[in-house]
């Protein structure tokens, strides 16, 4: 397991200037025609404390063929004023009342034209160099349709809390046991989103789970390419929707299980499958992070509630 102090010394100084202000691009000019268009959709609502840093993490990529779309749900704090400061760099932005994050994502991706696409929450971050790395991986692997990497958990001040390893995708793992990756460290080809269709507006908390689930069901496990690189940062803070596993989240998971044909998840057979895939998770934690990482993640898992 990587030493936490070493990781903080490595990543904290990297992130701080990257999201502090719009940086001049001092790198050699990149030919936009050489690089595939990347579309980033950012849904937002009342995120004035974080959205500027999220925007900067996109713009400071200095990717030469970027389509950046922000869909705000009619924020009433200072979010819209922040967006306006950067509107010259945005392909599309709007602020209007909506029916939640899934609705905002539908509006955004309906406007997205990039060959490669991603979704960044307005409190999360992309890592430096993520876009070029992803574009190159798609070029090297034309048979793969979804690229995902590792991610950092960060606090409200962009300080590292934990390094999170992704592992090879398995749709049954996702069904019965949980995430092997993070949507904020994940990109996909346009045709994947077109086959996916619309986000389910009935889902308030779990639209990311539903998206990845449907990607897996539509595309198959072999469509996913894991790369050993940190692509994004997932921010942990008191106001985030995903902080607690409550009855609403459980009901959303039950809805998806019914819609996609694995309602046995909540029966004894499904419970057995969950333990089988927990063993697979333990294998990947050990393989990627070592015994210390496995031990830390096991203690973390035992301390939080799960669906039942």
Using DSSP, state whether 44 is helix, strand or coil.
Answer: strand
Of the two residues 237 and 73, the one the predictor is more confident about is: 73
Asked whether the predicted pLDDT for residue 243 surpasses 80, the reply is no
Mean pLDDT of the chain: 94
In the CATH scheme, what is the code of domain 4-244?
3.90.550.10
Question: Can you tell me the distance from the alpha carbon of 193 to that of 239, in angstroms, rounded to the nearest whole number?
Answer: 29
CA atoms within 13 A on the CB side of 124: 25
As separate numbers, helices (DSSP H) first and strands (DSSP E) second, the chain gives 10, 9
Model pLDDT, residue 27: 67
Enter the tokens of residue 163.
Answer: 């390094």
42 CA to centre of own chain: 11
Question: Can you tell me the distance from the alpha carbon of 251 to that of 273, in angstroms, rounded to the nearest whole number?
Answer: 20
State mean pLDDT over 96-123.
Answer: 97
Model pLDDT, residue 24: 87
Closest CA to 128 of 3, 236, 20, 288: 20
Enter the tokens of residue 136.
Answer: 């190159």
Model pLDDT, residue 108: 98
State mean pLDDT over 63-79.
Answer: 97
Asked whether the predicted pLDDT for residue 306 surpasses 80, the reply is no
Asked whether the predicted pLDDT for residue 304 surpasses 80, the reply is no
Of the two residues 242 and 298, the one the predictor is more confident about is: 298
Using DSSP, state whether 154 is helix, strand or coil.
Answer: strand
State mean pLDDT over 73-89.
Answer: 97
pLDDT level of residue 307 (50, 70, 90 thresholds): very low
Confirm whether pTM is higher than 0.85. Answer: yes
**134-189 per-position pLDDT tens digit:** 999 999 999 999 999 999 999 999 999 999 999 999 999 999 999 999 999 999 99
Give one word for 82, left, alpha or beta, with left for phi > 0 and alpha for psi -120 to 50: alpha
Asked whether the predicted pLDDT for residue 308 surpasses 50, the reply is no
Question: Can you tell me the distance from the alpha carbon of 166 to that of 169, in angstroms, rounded to the nearest whole number?
Answer: 9
Contact between 20 and 52 (Cβ < 8 Å): no
State mean pLDDT over 97-105.
Answer: 96
pLDDT level of residue 28 (50, 70, 90 thresholds): low
Quickly list DSSP for 207-254.
HHHHHHHHHHHHH-GGGEEEEEEEEEEEE--TT-GGG---HHHHHHHH
What is the 3-class SS of 53-122, one letter each residue?
Answer: HHHHHHHCCCCCCEEEEEEECCCCCCHHHHHHHCHHHCCEEEECCCCCHHHHHHHHHHCCCCCEEEECCC
Asked whether the predicted pLDDT for residue 305 surpasses 80, the reply is no
Model pLDDT, residue 25: 80
pLDDT level of residue 31 (50, 70, 90 thresholds): confident
Contact between 152 and 4 (Cβ < 8 Å): no
Enter the tokens of residue 65.
Answer: 């063929």
Enter the tokens of residue 279.
Answer: 């063993």
Asked whether the predicted pLDDT for residue 196 surpasses 90, the reply is yes
Closest CA to 218 of 169, 184, 254: 169
pLDDT level of residue 233 (50, 70, 90 thresholds): very high
- Report phi then psi at 201, rounded to 5: -70, -10
Question: Can you tell me the distance from the alpha carbon of 110 to that of 193, in angstroms, rounded to the nearest whole number?
Answer: 10
Model pLDDT, residue 210: 97
State mean pLDDT over 268-291.
Answer: 96
Lowest mean pLDDT among 47-61, 124-138, 294-308: 294-308
Paired with 224 in beta bridges are 146
């Amino acid at each position: 397991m990587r030493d936490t102090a070493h990781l903080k010394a490595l990543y904290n100084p990297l992130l701080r200037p990257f999201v502090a202000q719009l940086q001049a691009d001092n790198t050699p000019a990149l030919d936009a025609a050489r690089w595939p268009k990347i579309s980033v959709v950012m849904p937002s609502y009342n995120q004035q404390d974080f959205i500027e840093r999220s925007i900067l993490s996109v713009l400071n990529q200095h990717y030469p063929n970027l389509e950046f779309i922000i869909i705000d749900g009619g924020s009433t704090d200072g979010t819209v004023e922040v967006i306006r400061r950067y509107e010259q760099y945005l392909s599309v932005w709007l602020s209007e009342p909506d029916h939640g994050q899934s609705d905002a994502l539908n509006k955004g991706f309906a406007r997205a034209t990039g060959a490669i696409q991603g979704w960044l929450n307005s409190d999360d971050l992309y890592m430096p160099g993520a876009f070029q790395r992803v574009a190159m991986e798609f070029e090297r692997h034309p048979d793969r349709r979804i690229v995902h990497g590792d991610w950092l958990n960060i606090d409200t001040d962009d300080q590292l809390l934990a390094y999170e390893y992704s592992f090879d995708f398995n749709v049954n793992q996702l069904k019965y046991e949980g995430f092997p990756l993070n949507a904020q460290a994940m990109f996909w080809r346009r045709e994947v989103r077109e086959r996916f269709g619309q986000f389910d507006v009935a889902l308030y908390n779990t639209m990311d789970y539903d998206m990845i689930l449907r990607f897996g069901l539509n595309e198959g496990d072999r469509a996913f390419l894991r790369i050993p690189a940190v692509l994004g940062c997932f921010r942990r803070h008191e106001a985030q929707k995903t902080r607690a596993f409550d009855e609403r989240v459980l009901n959303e998971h039950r809805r998806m299980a019914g819609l996609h044909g694995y309602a046995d998840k909540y029966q004894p057979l499904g419970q057995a499958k969950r333990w089988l895939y927990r063993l697979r998770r333990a294998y990947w934690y050990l393989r990627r992070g070592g015994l210390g990482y496995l031990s830390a993640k096991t203690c973390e898992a035992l301390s939080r509630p799960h669906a039942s």
